[in-house]
Amino acid sequence: MCGIVGYIGRRDVAPLLLEGLQRLEYRGYDSAGVVITGKTGDLRVVKAKGRVRELQARVPKRFAGTTGIAHTRWATHGKPSDLNAHPHLDNDEKVAVVHNGIIDNASELRARLVAEGAELVSETDTEVLAHLIARSAAETLEQKVRDALRSVEGTYGLAVLHRDFPDRIVVARNGSPVVLGIGEKEMFVASDVAALVAHTRQVVTLEDGEMATLKADDFRTYTTEGSRTSATPTTVEWEAESYDMGGHDTYMHKEICEQAEAVDRVLRGRIDDRFATVRLDGLNLDAREARGVRRIKILGCGTSYHAGQIGAQLIEELARIPSDAEPASEFRYRNAVVDPDTLYLAVSQSGETYDVLAAVQELKRKGARVLGVVNVVGSAIARESDGGMYVHAGPEVCVVSTKCFTNTVVAFALLALHLGRVRDLSVADGRRIIAGLRKLPEQIEQVLKTEPDIKRLATHFADARSMLFVGRVRGYPVAREAALKLKEVSYVHAEAYPASELKHGPLALVEPAMPTVAIVPDDDLLEKNRAAMEEIKARSGRILAVAHQEQEKADHTIVVPKNEDELDPILMGIPLQLFAYHTALALGRDIDKPRNLAKSVTVE
């Protein structure tokens, strides 16, 4: 959510900032703004409700400068408007601030500032920061920002310009990502490397409680208390081309079509044929410690939570370790019992999801062992965890997750196989699962070739105002994720239920106007699933089945290739990603930027 871009150097800053904002559009936003330090040192601001293109249209032709910061806002305090858009300035227009996060005590600070004579013009929590910095009597900008932050409770990733200090940008982080980009006699700052990789791949990621000063030819990092910190730049593995659309009409379609290659990438170099297992050195968990695990708890939000549900089933089936998944947003508030024999897995595409990160921090405080399952190298959850796995899906730009979901489930299959072979899974079963994993990329390509048929089905069902998704055991998390995808991208209401629960309430909804999508794998529950479809047909319900063979009771069947029973959920979810995509396309939705949603949820 929200995006920050900043630059200081020799180049004309406005085009760089606008380009950076465009690369961050996938994060979700409702307004945008830019501020530059003009040639006379004054701060020049342009803001606009709506897309970056609206902002770009307002930027005057003469808007020259070599230092500036910019922002895309996702409304929390105050409705989307020009006035509430960032950057925010103090009354004398000396200080400009862009901010991601939430200031929890903003109301208290606002009342204090008004009592002192400040005139706040927006509804945002961020504006108080500009006034606090401006009112500090400190001699340096760094100390002014530090003074302001001492009054603040909440989360922030922020960047600050000051008219009296035109040679620098000061940034700070607490709970919201801030990444520095190191160039040749130029420096960048952003909330996401996507805004940086077109110009530099050398980055420094700030830790919570850390600040930085950027000048054109140098940078330094330090704590909010003023102590210097050491920062060694790392190289980002993704290139600018990874963020291009690659000839596709949308990022969502591109990312769905990249899944065969992405799965091959997560498998590459990890399979150990000699011992019928996999190598996962990043877990930092030796065989003795792995055998000592008595329970596994998987924490994620949204799509990551659904991937965790499939992961829990894989671990129970292959490693015989009791496992379950729970929304991190619920876990962190329910005062859960933290068992020293439980291994906790934190799942996040961005590695910055606030609810997951907060759960990790609470678990670490209580002495738990936490492993991260993330896509972004060097992200906050990766750094805070004791070890983990990168899922190597590559950049995912569309707000709705597709290839990262698939790669996360494959990563869980690798973990389940690893834990199973450490424990009681036979060599024969290990080889069986490895063979199944190796077949996945080719089978994904087979599924993708059925897109024209799926498009016709999506167009056929696009008039439905609501849909029901059902599955049993392995199929239920697939149903949940498929229902979420349809809701996210097409705005069609969808609910997912275990097929076994139909007669306990949801059957009341079944009628011709409410179609059902049934997940029907060829496993030991095939006849049970067919019985559920009988119940739906008896009530005149329309059925779209996703199965390994044509289903007589379904009105339409999407046939997917058969893999090992444990791995079937990986393949069965992919056609339903395409179904959601083409439903949204038929309804004219903004596919890459669904309303009200953001890619990386870094606030509560």
Q: What's the CA gap between 494 and 66, in Å, rounded? A: 49
Tokens of 1: 């959510």
Encode 167-179: b = buried (16+ Cβ within 10 Å), e = exposed: ebbbbbbbbbbbb
**DSSP label of 38:** -
From 49, 254, 593, 599, active-site residue: 599
2 catalytic per annotation: yes
Question: Measuring CA to CA, which residue among 483, 470, 451 is closest to residue 519?
Answer: 470
Q: What one-character-per-residue DSSP string does 553-581 give?
A: TSSEEEE-----GGGHHHHHTHHHHHHHH
Q: What's the CA gap between 387 and 105, in Å, rounded? A: 35
599 catalytic per annotation: yes
Q: What one-character-per-residue DSSP string does 327-354 give?
A: EHHHHTTTT----TTEEEEEEESSS--H
Sign of CA pseudo-dihedral 353, 357, 359, 360: positive
Which residues are within 8 A (CB) of 235 and not within 5 positions of it... i.e. 6 or more apart? 201, 202, 203
Quick check: 462 and 586 in contact, CB under 8 A?
A: yes
| φ and ψ at residue 531, rounded to 5 degrees | -65, -35
Encode 67-102: b = buried (16+ Cβ within 10 Å), e = exposed: bbbbbbbbbbbbeebbebbbbbbbeeebbbbbbbbb
CA 463 to chain centre: 30
| φ and ψ at residue 545, rounded to 5 degrees | -100, 145
Question: Measuring CA to CA, which residue among 407, 393, 445, 454 is closest to residue 260?
Answer: 445
- Residue 426: count of CB within 10 angstroms of its CB: 11
Radius of gyration of the chain (CA): 25
Q: Which residue type, as a one-letter code, is found at position 68? A: G
Question: Measuring CA to CA, which residue among 168, 150, 170 is closest to residue 159?
Answer: 170
From 2, 257, 398, 404, active-site residue: 2
Give the catalytic positions in this structure: 2, 599
